[in-house]
Structure 1
Amino acid sequence: MKSISVDDLAALGSGVPIIDVREKEEYAEASVPGTRNVPLSRFQQSMGDIPAGRTVYIMCASGGRSSRATAALTEAGYDAVNIMGGITEWYRNGHPVTYQAGR
């Protein structure tokens, strides 16, 4: 499985397709700007919503769920890359995070 660090992902700049597989409630609390939420709990039903034909980067809270989603996408023929450490590592390394109002 292909993986990337949060710092290497940030170096790619904005515009790369990042799919966040955390649940809707988790995503609503905090998210990386520009990501798209496709919760792992409904991932199999929503794979058609994921852009094909280009590399997609898969994120979760710390890397476990994104690993499973990346494996499923790779098996389905997508060029998918797991983001190591997820949003937790992204935040720890000082990259931007959007928080729900009131938090």
Structure 2
Amino acid sequence: MKEITAKELEQKQNTKEKLNIVDVREDEEVAMGKIPGAKHIPLGQIPARLNELDKQEHYYIVCRSGGRSSNACQFLIQNGYNVTNMAGGMLDWEGEVE
């Protein structure tokens, strides 16, 4: 599974690169702030919401510490998606939040 650090993802975001970020945390966690532009799909809803993701796109998957996003990545890879896990999750994120 591909991984990226929070700092590397922040640097990509700062270059205005088009990024598809999916936050798999629960509603109450996202309410405390998420990466600007990130799509929120709680981990438990991913199987039912696969139609919202395009297999032609690449996605960065984010959670609080990297565990749930790793599980989401494994599921998405098995279903033919191109994904990268953000290691360390939002605990390591130092960039802007919305």
Are 1:6 and 2:6 counterparts? yes
Give 1:9 deviation, angstroms.
1.1
Task: Structure 1: state its 5+ residue gaps.
Answer: 99-103
For residues 39-71 of structure 1, the C-alpha deviation after alignment (integer angstroms, 9 at most, x for no partner) is 012111111112321210000000010000001
Task: Structure 2: state its 5+ residue gaps.
Answer: none
Write the distance in 1 (CA, Å) between the matches of 2:44 and 2:78.
18
TM-score, scaled to structure 1: 0.86
TM-score, scaled to structure 2: 0.90
Are 1:22 and 2:25 counterparts? yes
- Once the two structures are overlaid, the 10-residue window that deviates more, 72-81 or 12-21, is 12-21
Equivalent AA in structure 2 for residue 38 of structure 1 = I
Give 1:22 deviation, angstroms.
0.4
Aligned length: 95
Write the distance in 1 (CA, Å) between the matches of 2:3 and 2:70.
9
Give 1:85 deviation, angstroms.
0.7
Aligned to 1:97: 97
Equivalent AA in structure 2 for residue 63 of structure 1 = G
Write the distance in 2 (CA, Å) between the matches of 1:52 and 1:12.
21
